[in-house]
Amino acid sequence: MPATSDCPDTPVASGEILITKLTLHEIHSLGGVIHQKRVTLPLPFEVMNEVAIEDVSGFLTDETLDWVSKHLGIYQTETLKSVRFALVHRYTLDSSIMGTDDEAESEKLIKNLIELIHIIRPMRQDTSIVRGQQSGDNFRVVGLETPTRLEVPEVQKSFHLRNQDLHLLKQTAPLFIQAMQSAAMKFRTAVAYHNVGRLVTHGNARFLLWCSALEALYTSHTYNHQGSLVATERIKWFLGPQTQVYEEGDVPDFILNQPHLTVADIVTKIYEVRNFIAHGDVLPRKYFETTLREGVAGDVATIEVLGEALSFIVRKSLLRILRDDLFYHFKTAATTDAFFGAQGLTRSLLKKGIAEALNG
């Protein structure tokens, strides 16, 4: 878990006044004037009760971060000062006691919703949770997790939230919170693997964690419902084999040769790389020496494109489950096996189909 720091002079108790507490988490970007599809909706934008996306540029200043600078390095402190937009949970208590259940629940809520934001539109991340208290126009930082920079696959480095992302966030936030509190274990496990994959810096580890998210959603421990063949065929059926991995606006318009890669084009290659990594084998040089798309700074290697496509497939799978209310089917191995089995997507039937095609 990230290291946390608390303000040393925060009062331990007070029952005399109502205190507005805030838990906030950086949002990397809502787009700038150069972005054609930037957020134009007015802020604060309400996501759900007591939670909104706000402009917090006046919150993290030299004054409010004075005690923080004694615990963090210059770079980390300056990074906090540069935060402009954040997801904010505001709640009112009649005590400033720290470490309460309300505070813990607030952090859990914000972390869940931040994960949903990165499922909808993954972006870079430079800081993490900040806890504050507000009285009138006065804001003070009372605690925070140590800021940690998180990178994203190449295509996502220029991503920012757009109006459609905010609308989707508002639509799915209650469903996501409900799902994360439900018995939909396979869905929750996939979300957890996606989240941990975002947090690690080792490329192979991230790739394997995101593949584990796919395994959690599309396969189970029983023979007829496991293996690369089962997983890839189920993914193609669930998302649509001709679904484009790069959506409009993902790759900058000035790239003349826009990529046209479908789920069917890429999913088998993803599992080939997954098998090399999972078994501790050296990845063949072709994944690094061949390219699959044109990028801002030159051609992008196959291994990087596969990581981008893997991120897309995991996120779109989770979003389809959310939007189409399919949680029941991703509750246990039995419900998932029945869901895909009804489509004939089992190992025995798939192998039978391949054999018939070869002989026929």
Residues 232, 351, single domain; the answer is: yes
Please report whether residue 113 resides in a domain.
yes
Residues 206, 345, single domain; the answer is: yes
Q: What is the pLDDT of residue 8?
A: 62
DSSP state of 281: P
Q: What is the pLDDT of residue 113?
A: 97
Give CA–CA dist 356/263, Å, rounded: 24
Residues 260, 347, single domain; the answer is: yes
Using DSSP, state whether 11 is helix, strand or coil. coil
In the chain, DSSP assigns E strands to 4-6, 19-27, 45-48, 51-55, 85-93, 129-135, 138-145, 291-295, 298-301
Q: What is the pLDDT of residue 138?
A: 85
Please report whether residue 324 resides in a domain.
yes
Q: What is the pLDDT of residue 340?
A: 97
Q: What is the pLDDT of residue 43?
A: 94
Beta pairing partners, 260: none
Residues 138, 192, single domain; the answer is: no
Q: What is the pLDDT of residue 198?
A: 94
Residues 68, 205, single domain; the answer is: no
Cis previous bond, 44, omega within 30: yes
Please report whether residue 9 resides in a domain.
no
pTM of the model as a whole:
0.92
Q: Pick from 145, 167, 201: which residue ends a domain? A: 145
Residues 103, 249, single domain; the answer is: no
Domain count, the chain: 2
Residues 199, 333, single domain; the answer is: yes
Residues 244, 135, single domain; the answer is: no
Residues 225, 340, single domain; the answer is: yes
Per-residue pLDDT of the chain (360 residues; tens, 9 = 90+): 466 666 666 554 444 567 799 999 999 999 865 566 788 999 999 999 999 999 998 899 988 888 888 888 888 888 898 999 999 999 987 655 555 688 889 999 999 999 999 999 999 999 999 999 988 778 899 988 888 889 999 999 989 999 999 999 999 999 999 999 988 999 999 999 999 999 998 989 999 999 999 999 999 999 999 999 999 999 999 999 999 999 988 998 888 889 999 999 999 999 999 999 999 999 999 999 999 999 888 899 999 999 999 999 999 999 999 999 999 999 999 999 999 999 999 999 999 888 888 886
Please report whether residue 311 resides in a domain.
yes
Residues 140, 188, single domain; the answer is: no
Q: What is the pLDDT of residue 35?
A: 60
Q: What is the pLDDT of residue 72?
A: 84
Q: What is the pLDDT of residue 12?
A: 44
Contact present, 122 and 49 (Cβ < 8 Å): no
Tokens of 153: 């696959």
Please report whether residue 165 resides in a domain.
no
Instruction: Supply the range of the domain harboring residue 208.
Output: 184-359
Residues 85, 195, single domain; the answer is: no
Please report whether residue 37 resides in a domain.
yes
Give CA–CA dist 259/177, Å, rounded: 34
What's phi and psi for 130, nearest 5 deg? -125, 135
Please report whether residue 244 resides in a domain.
yes
Residues 204, 304, single domain; the answer is: yes
Please report whether residue 168 resides in a domain.
no
